[in-house]
Structure 1
Amino acid sequence: MTNLDIVKSTYEGKTSEENGKNLQRYMTSETLWTEAAGFPYAGTYQGFEQIEKHVFARLGSEWIGYNFAVEDYVAAGDKVIAYGTYSGTYKTSGKHFKARVAHLWQLKDGKIVSFEQFVDSKTVNDAM
């Protein structure tokens, strides 16, 4: 698989569970995952278990219909960018949001080395 194919497999599965399994398949215990400063789950996490605990579990429990609609991808060498729009409704406030976002992935030898999120976090925080 190409780097682009690997990244696409983490977004374009039939279910979010399939996307998560593909993500886990291409990560290592050394993979670094950075949520943007200002984002509610900001920080850098290492390995799937930390990402699951600090990001995905919270997205799943705190939001209704949280989604990243990928608009397109840009791939060059060991880097892939996915960009589009986040949306969802925060359970506690009942407020819906949309925010533009880009994800920068770096891969090596068919494995994800790092992920970095760039997002307009104001709209997310306003919904919360």
Structure 2
Amino acid sequence: MRKIYFVCFLFMLNGLFAQKKDKLNPIVVYEKVWLEHNSDTRLKLIKTIWLDDSTFEDPSASIKGGVALNNVINEFYKKFPDAVITSGPKVVKDNYVSWDWKILDSKNKLIMGGRDFARLNGKGQVSKIIGFWDSEVTLSESEILKNLETDNFKVVAQYYEGLFKTRNFTAMSALIEEGAIYSQAAGLPYGGTYKGFDEWTKMYAKSSEFFDLEIEKEPVYFSDVTKNEVIIYFTIKCKAKKSGKTLLMPISEHFDLKNGKITAVKPFYFDTKQFAEFLKSKR
């Protein structure tokens, strides 16, 4: 009898390992995609795991579709032709996979590091990847301080401080261009497009009806000076007012600026659907 139980236990373990392996297959292919230097060969690989509406987002790009992903990687190898990419163990939870990675040069010197989060569709394909760069690895302290001294960084940092810490809407309003656009995902209970800071404040008030928020991880700032764009990455800890449940959610917010003022904000939640369901769920 013990032998039978043991055999059943082994079958169960094999089943669990097989499920994990199946979920990791698209990630294995995705990593091969990044290691492939030939653009045509790479695109063929991408098409095996990537859909037309699959998205990739990191501090350097926010794109949709396989051709666009291939172009991102082409641009990466133009900058780092001899780059060597390594990755750590994968953490699998439901249809989500996360892992750390590093990029080394030909002399084994660290260029940058970070962490990727992938959402799978359960059919062997990737529906979304969000990449977070480790600023402590990617930028030196002096470079970070230098970036924070730029006008655009200052404006976004002041906005973040006013919204999440001091709640000083008067100070915030001076940072916002008249008619600036704030775009929230349509699936959220406070989703929609808000024009002008007065409308923004109504959106803030509406969102506060659904959850209490704490900043779990302070933002990391990135900028594309040529586009007058600043991107911040941070993690929020929310407590839903309907259910009392809590949820951690990584977020990136994209800011467009002009003449030292914010003209548009677009937040991206790691999983908008999960966040919307969390806010609407009851006890």
One fold, TM greater than 0.5? Answer: yes
CA distance in 1, matches of 2:186, 2:210: 19
Decide which structure has the larger Cα Rg and report it: 2
Aligned equivalent of 2:175? 26
CA distance in 1, matches of 2:277, 2:210: 14
CA distance in 1, matches of 2:188, 2:249: 11
**1:58 is paired with a residue of what secondary structure?**
helix
Unaligned runs of 5+ in 2: 1-149
Q: Report the residue type matching 1:42 in the other structure.
A: G
**Contact residue 159 and residue 175 of structure 2 kept, 8 A:** no
**2:188 is paired with a residue of what secondary structure?**
coil
Q: 1:84-123 to 2 correspondence within 5 Å? A: 84-119=234-269, 120-123=271-274
User: What RMSD over aligned residues (CA atoms) do the two structures have, in Å?
Assistant: 2.0
CA distance in 1, matches of 2:160, 2:232: 9
Unaligned runs of 5+ in 1: none
User: Could you say which structure has the greater relative contact order, defined with CA pairs below 8 angstroms and 6 or more residues apart?
Assistant: 1
CA distance in 2, matches of 1:5, 1:40: 31
Query: How far 1:17 sits from its partner (Å)?
Result: 1.5
CA distance in 1, matches of 2:185, 2:209: 20
Aligned equivalent of 2:223? 75
**Contact residue 235 and residue 249 of structure 2 kept, 8 A:** yes
How has the CA–CA distance of structure 1 residues 82 and 49 changed in structure 2, closer, same or farther, with 3 Å as cutoff?
same
CA distance in 2, matches of 1:38, 1:16: 28
CA distance in 1, matches of 2:267, 2:258: 19
CA distance in 1, matches of 2:233, 2:179: 24
**1:29 is paired with a residue of what secondary structure?**
strand
Residue 127, structure 1, aligned to residue 275, structure 2? no
CA distance in 2, matches of 1:62, 1:89: 9
Q: Which has the higher strand share?
A: 1
Aligned length: 125
Q: Which has the higher helix share?
A: 2
Instruction: Select between 98-107 and 35-44 the one with higher mean Cα deviation.
Output: 35-44
How has the CA–CA distance of structure 1 residues 33 and 106 changed in structure 2, closer, same or farther, with 3 Å as cutoff?
same
User: Cα deviation per residue 1:59-115 (whole Å; 9 max; x = unaligned)?
Assistant: 333322x13443301012110001111221111111111111110001000111111
CA distance in 2, matches of 1:16, 1:58: 19
Instruction: Select between 30-39 and 102-111 the one with higher mean Cα deviation.
Output: 30-39
CA distance in 2, matches of 1:63, 1:16: 18
CA distance in 2, matches of 1:85, 1:107: 23
TM-score (norm 2): 0.41
